[in-house]
Amino acid sequence: MNLSPKRQQGLTLISIIFILGLIGFFVLLTLKIVPIYLDHGKVKSALEALKATPELATKSEFEIRDSLTKRFSINYVYDVKQEDIKVIKHGNYVKVDIEYETVVKLVGNLSALAEFHDTVEAGQE
């Protein structure tokens, strides 16, 4: 049986395993990273709901933090801690700043880090 290189076609077993490994890695990466951004969407929606709150500028820092904590609890957001939330008040001006990071373990000692920073302002300085 004389096989010439022109007649040989297809992938070898090693190349198929390599391609399946790459596809598996990207699927794993997607399944680990997408929930991080879904949680960040919940944080942004909580901030937008806070901004839509009537008379936000007259509320105390405790009331603002309590409102955010309740919204995060309802939406199962556990990545934002109290020390990540900064509330700045000057008269009728309120600025709520949330800066946090999330680390997700991928495989072995490989992890993914995502950093987020969101700000909401209300009132007049």
pLDDT in tens, 26-55: 999 999 999 999 999 999 999 999 988 888
| Closest to 114 in 3D by CA, of 65, 80, 83 | 80
Most confident of 3-12, 88-97, 107-116: 107-116
Confidence of residue 12 (pLDDT cuts 50, 70, 90): confident
pLDDT bucket at 3, cuts 50 / 70 / 90: low
- Kindly list the domain boundaries of the chain, sorted by start residue: 35-122
Give the pair of three-digit tokens for residue 5. 């290189």
pLDDT in tens, 103-124: 999 888 999 999 999 999 887 7
Buried-exposed string 18-44: b where 16+ CB fall within 10 A, e elsewhere: eeeeeeeeeeeeeeeeeebeebbebbe
| Kind and range of the H or E run holding 26 | helix 13-51
pLDDT attached to residue 5? 63
Confidence category of residue 6, pLDDT binned at 50, 70, 90: low
Mean pLDDT of the chain: 88
Smallest CA-to-CA distance from 113 within 102, 121, 124 is with 102
